Structure 1
Amino acid sequence: MSKPYVIGMDMGGTNTVFGIVDARGQVIASDSVKTKKHAKFEDYIADLHQAVTRLLEANDAVDKIKGIGIGAPNGNYYTGEIVKAPNLPWGPVVPLAETVSKAFNGIPVAVTNDANAAALGEMTYGAARGMKDFIMITLGTGVGSGIVINGQLVYGHDGFAGELGHVIMKRNNGRVCGCGRTGCLEAYCSATGVARTAREFLEVRTEPSLLRNIDIEEITSKDVYDAAIAGDKIAKDIFEFTGKILGEAMADMTAFSSPQAFVLFGGLTKSGDLLMKPLKEAYDKNVLPIFRGKAKILLSELKESDAAVLGASALGWEAKYRYEVPGSLATSNEIPAVSPEM
């Protein structure tokens, strides 16, 4: 019996990264195509099909792909569509799963958003393996989340549940968020939120700072990290502010689902104790006493270079399983295809 593979795809607004993944969670090979350069969805699919086919041929995997999983902006797990993605030019509703499946001769395809794909990746291959109740939080340009309860990802009735990045942390005079509301967690605890905090602090505080050597509109979260490591007081206070808000939010999340763990992923987690120390202090201070000391706060165990592809590939195994067992909504933790014996 030939060794089975799946394809994991991470569709971003700029690039789509994809890879061939085996049942042990090894990325055999990967490549990418430009997403944004295609004005027409059909042209994007043609380019994607050509690039993926090249990769399959180069790795003797053309007839070995059993499923395709795609993490996409505003990807709907139930319908396989992308719905009103702000950074894609192809219209309000894009039939992603159906179109990709047709392009690849009927291979089953499953779609979800990027944070849910990350949660599946951690549950199948990473820090949450064996857990049935955890919350994945992705700290990147935005703040995403995937909620797993009793071994199942929470999708809600419409496929869009789990937007914890848009819980409101500042009810009065909060920052405008990209979603159009004000005071969202994402506006404070994303990489862009850290940069916004830096600009605010520099405008209202007068003490010297390494950050003042950078054009205020060009400051990034990496600049803030570098300054903090160099001992800059304002930069350290920015991380203190960010970690406190995130810890408070996570304390509230615990009251909702009593997770065994939070798994954090994304560039901001590289800041280490600059973020994690105030986060944990705020979490412990604000969590309900009945939950205190129970939930672990973990960092992702997936290699950053492979994480997006692995997360989506876990959905690919699920697509295979759902195709073989019609009507099943089993998560990848329950899918026999992740066993090395397969």
Structure 2
Amino acid sequence: MHFVLLKKVLVLDFELRKGNRMANHIEFLGVDLGGTNIKIGVVDTEGNLLDKVKYPTAPLQESGDFITNFIEILGSELSKRPHISKVGIGVPGTLTKCRRTTLEFPNIKGLGGQPLMDKLEDAFPEKEIWLENDANAAALGELYFSRSPRPDHFIFVTLGTGVGGAVIMDREIFKGGDGNALEIGHVMVSNGMTLEQNFGKKGMVAYAQKLIDSGKYETGLISEDLYPKAIVKALPKGDVVAKKVFRKNAKYLGEALVGAVRLLDIKDIFIGGGVAASFPYFEAELMAYLREHLTEYYTISLSVRRAELGNNAGILGAASLCFQQGEKN
């Protein structure tokens, strides 16, 4: 008799907890608006990517009315998912501090200098929408959706076609004076170029090509197939040119990070982006540079790690903008 009663209580408790989980299961739309592709995904509060689709960016620019075409795509995806009411959008450029107007967007013609939030709200008055710089959004996604706990303050660097940066401070995006802090890719380093000019796609390819043309090094890299991912893939094979590219750029990344650490007094750093897979191959050089140029106050607790979210960081980061707002409310 007691066993039957206990079984009923346990079943009831399980059903209640299951019901609570279902009630708390909320889905967001994360939009990673990039210069090459627009990636759109459905993300839940646990950071699970439930669905994903992508559209090439170029056709939207060629029409001469990028925003209208983007809104049409977004509307199409939302119409398939009427239960979703919150949308986060990460964009590759600068925004006003209120996050309503775009400023400089060199990689997407027709997106800069536009009242983008006004247009989105006019098109989707029943939805809640948030805009953020893509590196900032990716950093926020790292905070909320990583498998391992993240500190309340950290510096986030993305290595890819360009070099982006963000700061999470007190579990929020640090925007700076006018809204666009830590553009670390545009910090000047000791060779008179910016970090992005060295560690971005063009800089990496140009330096690798210079090494190949010198004829001094054996390499499996060929000029006709020279791009960052090819250089990264050559690293595990011990390719001399690939290793030299990343060892050189580790120094310049170190220079930029020494300045960022001293200015912000933050000792946790995460490396993300499409080129982040190369991190184990330049980690030793980077850490040696940081330890040489930072005092013990900084180095005793200094941590530089690879970010966890990988190729989905843009979508998950954009979705986390909705998640953060829900947490605040």
Match of 2:298 among 287, 291, 294: 291
| CA RMSD in angstroms, aligned pairs only | 2.3
Which amino acid is 2:229 matched to? Answer: K
Name the structure 2 match of 1:188. Answer: 198
Deviations 1:64-102 (A, max 9, x none): 42x211100215251322222112222531222232233
1:85 maps to 2:93:
no
Which amino acid is 1:73 matched to? Answer: P
Structure of higher RCO (CA pairs closer than 8 Å, 6+ residues apart): 1
Q: How does 1:170-319 map to 2 (within 5 A)?
A: 170=190, 174=192, 183-203=193-213, 205-210=214-219, 214-215=222-223, 218-304=225-311, 306-318=312-324
Match of 1:98 among 118, 134, 137: 118
Residues 19 and 31 in structure 1, CA contact (< 8 A), matched pair in contact too: yes
Question: Secondary structure of 1:105's match?
Answer: coil
Distance 1:34 1:100, change over 3 A: farther
Distance 1:100 1:237, change over 3 A: same
Higher helix fraction (1 or 2): 2
Q: Which moves more between the two structures, 223-232 or 267-276?
A: 223-232
Partners of 2:302 and 2:113 in 1: how far apart? 38
Name the structure 1 match of 2:39. Answer: 17
Partners of 1:233 and 1:120 in 2: how far apart? 36
Name the structure 2 match of 1:178. Answer: none
Name the structure 2 match of 1:5. Answer: 27
Which amino acid is 1:143 matched to? Answer: V
- Unpaired runs of 5+ residues, structure 2, are 1-22
Cα distance, 1:105 vs. partner?
2.8
Which amino acid is 1:122 matched to? Answer: E
Name the structure 2 match of 1:141. Answer: 161
Partners of 1:140 and 1:128 in 2: how far apart? 23
Partners of 2:262 and 2:113 in 1: how far apart? 34
Distance 1:46 1:150, change over 3 A: same
Partners of 1:280 and 1:10 in 2: how far apart? 31
Name the structure 2 match of 1:74. Answer: 93
Which amino acid is 1:42 matched to? Answer: T
Cα distance, 1:124 vs. partner?
0.9
Give the structure-2-normalised TM-score.
0.83
Count of matched residue pairs: 302
Partners of 1:282 and 1:260 in 2: how far apart? 15
Once the two structures are aligned, what percentage of the paired residues are identical? 26
